Amino acid sequence: MTDRRLLVLPRPVRDGLWAHLLPHPGAPEEAAFGFAMRDPEPGDDLYRYVGWFPVPPEGFASRSPIHFELTDEIRARAIKQAHDLGASLIEFHSHTGPWPAGFSASDIIGFHEFVPHVWWRLKGRPYIAVVVAPSGFDTALWVSGAETPLALDGIMVDSELLRPTGLTNWNINDD
């Protein structure tokens, strides 16, 4: 069996994140930043939760049920907190519509712009993204560079393994 790439969250944290990200049907997209430490033990590639904060309303430059843009200040706060913790940065955001969970084309274009900056600022620490929808979630992990990510094999919530949809099409050309 090959090693798995997993984000490890305590159940109260997972429940709090999902409640923030999906407050009610038709709500605007929400976002949060989390922090995780990479487990140095051999075996599975584990990213253990160490903290998170919700993006407050003033942290959005714009927001709707289908798109958002964060302010430079909230991005800088997230990067600084990850730096201060010596942690990897995790971006969580929601898609509140009726479609299955997967990163959108605009999400992917945003990653092409943002991940290289984070990768440089955090000196090559992995960057994780999780998109949450009412029907599930999808994931991305930049572990060896700021180019095309890998998928996480799941989120371990206490002893339960939750699996991502794997529906994201990473073959988006942003030229």
Give the pLDDT confidence of 36-65 residue by residue, as tens digits.
999 877 788 999 999 999 999 999 999 887
Q: Does domain 26-162 have CATH number 3.40.140?
A: yes
Instruction: Report if pTM > 0.85.
Output: yes
Query: Does the pLDDT at position 157 exceed 90?
Result: yes
| Single-letter residue type at 124 | G
Instruction: Report yes or no: 54 and 42 within 8 Å, Cβ to Cβ.
Output: no
Instruction: Report yes or no: 129 and 31 within 8 Å, Cβ to Cβ.
Output: no
Per-residue pLDDT, 175: 45
For the stretch 89-111, pLDDT in tens is: 999 999 988 888 999 988 999 99
Please give the torsion angle defined by the CA atoms of residues 98, 7, 139 and 99, in that order, rounded to the nearest 10 degrees: -10
What is residue 61's three-state secondary structure?
strand
